[in-house]
């Protein structure tokens, strides 16, 4: 907890300092950065929450799923294809596709001991390029002008100015927390992450835990992609994933891999992304400042993590 606050403070201080060096008022800068609209913040926080859970679940089981980006795209593509069968089918398809895409990495790990850090990243590139091919080819809009699809015929219902994905994402966070900390399977999954040899000795089927964790993890990312399509963009285009899969790493690390902490941390990064856009419009400061803060947060969390060594 202290660590998370220090990380956030360090990141914001650095941004304020950098802004000040370039002649901006640090106070104004931070006000704009953190004062974006609440609705937009929530909209941005929804995919971040789900990709944050993607990372939290996998890392807790000791598998390094860096493939949130690819699983996000796989989920969105599946939701687009399944949209004709209705909303529930589209969402279910997104979960299944994300889980399946992630499971390629766990299969490769099981079959050939291929490190999932590499395979999940490589699968990201494959997913990005498959999406690129789809929106330029078979799924391109009927007018064939831009590399994008037609708008999907269905959408998530609105709750006020945000879509119903917010309820789904929050529910997933609570369920993930409950599963990880209040069920025997969750205990086994965490044991696998901490010490697979000891977990095996305690009768845990470590292989099965890793498969399951990876599938659940990928399912979260896939759902994020489906919700983004059905709630926000309504169509697919080349840069659809927009880095949500990778930002999930910062979200999860700031939350110290705790599912409920992820809710807070996703909200923070959502606010940051919103504010960064505002900063670009009003102060002409590049929106990459949000990415910069993410990076500083990750560095701080890692630097001040695990100080005690066994």
Taking CB under 8 A as the binding criterion, the range among 69-77, 102-110, 168-176, 198-206 that sits at the site for other proteins is 198-206
The alpha carbon of residue 136 and the mean position of all alpha carbons in its chain are separated, in whole angstroms, by 26
Q: Which of residues 246-285 bind other proteins (CB under 8 A)?
A: none
Three-state secondary-structure class, residue 237 = strand
Q: Which is nearer to other proteins, 137 or 203 (CB)?
A: 203
Q: Which is nearer to other proteins, 5 or 198 (CB)?
A: 198
Least distance in Å: CB of 186 to other proteins?
Answer: 10
Q: Which of residues 160-189 bind other proteins (CB under 8 A)?
A: 184, 187-188
If binding is defined by CB under 8 A, does position 195 make contact with other proteins?
yes
Q: What is the DSSP letter of 83?
A: G
Exposed, middle or buried: residue 238 (CB in 10 Å: 0-12, 13-18, 19+)? middle
User: Angle at the Cα of 296 (from 222 to 8), degrees rounded to 5?
Assistant: 90
User: How far apart (Å, rounded) are the C-alpha atoms in residues 3 and 99?
Assistant: 32
User: How far apart (Å, rounded) are the C-alpha atoms in residues 296 and 174?
Assistant: 28
If binding is defined by CB under 8 A, does position 110 make contact with other proteins?
no
Radius of gyration from C-alpha coordinates of the chain: 20
User: How far apart (Å, rounded) are the C-alpha atoms in residues 56 and 58?
Assistant: 6
Contact flags string 202-241 toward other proteins, x per CB under 8 A: xxx-------------------------------------
Contact flags string 80-109 toward other proteins, x per CB under 8 A: ------------------------------
Q: Half-sphere exposure of 151 toward its Cβ, with a 13 Å CA cutoff?
A: 7
Taking CB under 8 A as the criterion, the residue among 24, 190, 212, 234 binding other proteins is 190
The alpha carbon of residue 144 and the mean position of all alpha carbons in its chain are separated, in whole angstroms, by 31
If binding is defined by CB under 8 A, does position 201 make contact with other proteins?
yes
Taking CB under 8 A as the criterion, the residue among 49, 82, 152, 191 binding other proteins is 191
Using CB under 8 A, list all residues that contact other proteins.
184, 187-188, 190-191, 194-195, 197-204, 310
């Amino acid at each position: 907890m202290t660590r998370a606050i220090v990380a956030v403070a360090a990141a914001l201080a650095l941004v304020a300092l950098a802004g000040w060096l370039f002649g901006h008022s640090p106070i104004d800068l931070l006000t704009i950065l953190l004062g974006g609209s609440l609705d937009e913040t929530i909209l941005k926080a929804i995919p971040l929450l789900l990709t944050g859970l993607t990372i939290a679940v996998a890392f807790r089981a000791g598998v390094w799923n860096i493939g949130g980006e690819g699983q996000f795209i796989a989920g969105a593509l599946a939701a687009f294809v399944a949209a004709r069968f209705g909303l529930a089918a589209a969402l279910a398809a997104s979960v299944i596709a994300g889980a399946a895409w992630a499971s390629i990495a766990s299969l490769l790990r099981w079959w050939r001991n291929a490190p999932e850090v590499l395979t999940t990243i490589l699968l990201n590139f494959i997913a990005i390029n498959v999406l690129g091919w789809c929106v330029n080819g078979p799924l391109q809009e009927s007018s064939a002008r831009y590399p994008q699809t037609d708008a999907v015929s269905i959408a998530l219902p609105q709750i006020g100015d945000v879509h119903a994905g917010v309820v789904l994402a929050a529910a997933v966070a609570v369920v993930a927390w409950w599963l990880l900390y209040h069920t025997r399977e969750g205990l086994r999954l965490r044991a696998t992450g901490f010490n697979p040899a000891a977990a095996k000795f305690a009768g845990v089927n470590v292989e099965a835990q890793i498969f399951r964790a990876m599938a659940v993890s990928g399912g979260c990312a896939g759902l994020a992609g489906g919700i983004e399509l059905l709630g926000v963009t309504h169509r697919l285009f080349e840069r659809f994933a927009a880095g949500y899969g990778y930002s999930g790493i910062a979200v999860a690390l700031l939350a110290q891999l705790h599912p409920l902490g992820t809710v807070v941390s996703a909200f923070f990064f959502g606010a940051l992304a919103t504010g960064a856009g505002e900063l670009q419009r009003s102060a002409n400061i590049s929106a990459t400042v949000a990415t910069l803060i993410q990076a500083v947060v990750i560095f701080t969390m890692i630097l001040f993590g695990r100080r005690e060594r066994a």
